[in-house]
Amino acid sequence: MLREIGPGENGFLNDGNVEFSGFPVFLQNYVNMSLGINLANNQVAQTLYWLYVDNKPVGYGKLRHHLNDSLRKIGGHIGYAIRPSERGKGYGKLILKELLLKAKEKDIYKVLMTTTEDNTLSRKVIEGNGGLLSHISDGECYYCISI
């Protein structure tokens, strides 16, 4: 699934674009990241969640536990990706719904999300989960979701 998603698109970076042999290290890095261990200077603690349908991975999402200046400009609290062969089936809306529940568990009640202005599918997913467009700047849409 991660290979199918590729290195990233629409402003979302897929750092999971790794070979199978490197996958255990990738997972351990995300366990550490969720605990705030070994973070690079520009990183914040974040948790990676997987969406499976019929025992098949169809997407994943990241919940950032708090924001830094960089994430306030691009990225926000939540990012997600659905594998190309599974798009258009409602999985984006579903994973965002689940990530918002996880945000609430972490006492995040005002979620910032960003997406590129031309990413109409992601904009529909965000708006379908209660996202209100606050503004557009330099081609980036800024949404707020209150939970």
Class of the domain covering 2-108: alpha beta
117: number of CA atoms within 13 Å, CB side?
7
The pLDDT assigned to 22 comes to: 75
Rounded to two decimals, the pTM is 0.84
Give start and end residues of each alpha helix (H) in the chain: 2-5, 23-34, 69-73, 91-105, 120-128
Separation between Cα atoms, residue 58 and residue 69, nearest integer Å:
31
Per-residue model confidence as pLDDT tens digits over 68-89: 999 999 999 999 999 889 999 9
Separation between Cα atoms, residue 6 and residue 9, nearest integer Å:
8
- Listed by start position, the domains of the chain span 2-108
Give the β-pairing of 8-9 and 78-82: unpaired
- Asked if pLDDT for residue 10 goes beyond 90, the answer is no
> What percent of the chain clears pLDDT 70, i.e. is strictly above it?
86
- Asked if pLDDT for residue 12 goes beyond 70, the answer is no
The pLDDT assigned to 3 comes to: 56
Per-residue model confidence as pLDDT tens digits over 21-73: 777 887 888 899 999 999 988 899 999 999 999 999 899 999 999 999 999 99
The pLDDT assigned to 13 comes to: 47
Q: Comparing C-alpha atoms, which of 16, 9, 5, 6 is closest to residue 84? A: 5
The pLDDT assigned to 23 comes to: 74
- Asked if pLDDT for residue 9 goes beyond 90, the answer is no
Phi/psi region, residue 111 (left: phi>0; alpha: psi -120 to 50; beta: rest), is beta
Report helix, strand and coil shares of the chain as percent, to nearest 5: 35, 30, 35
Which amino acid makes up residue 79? G
Of all helices (H) and strands (E), which one includes residue 56?
strand 56-64
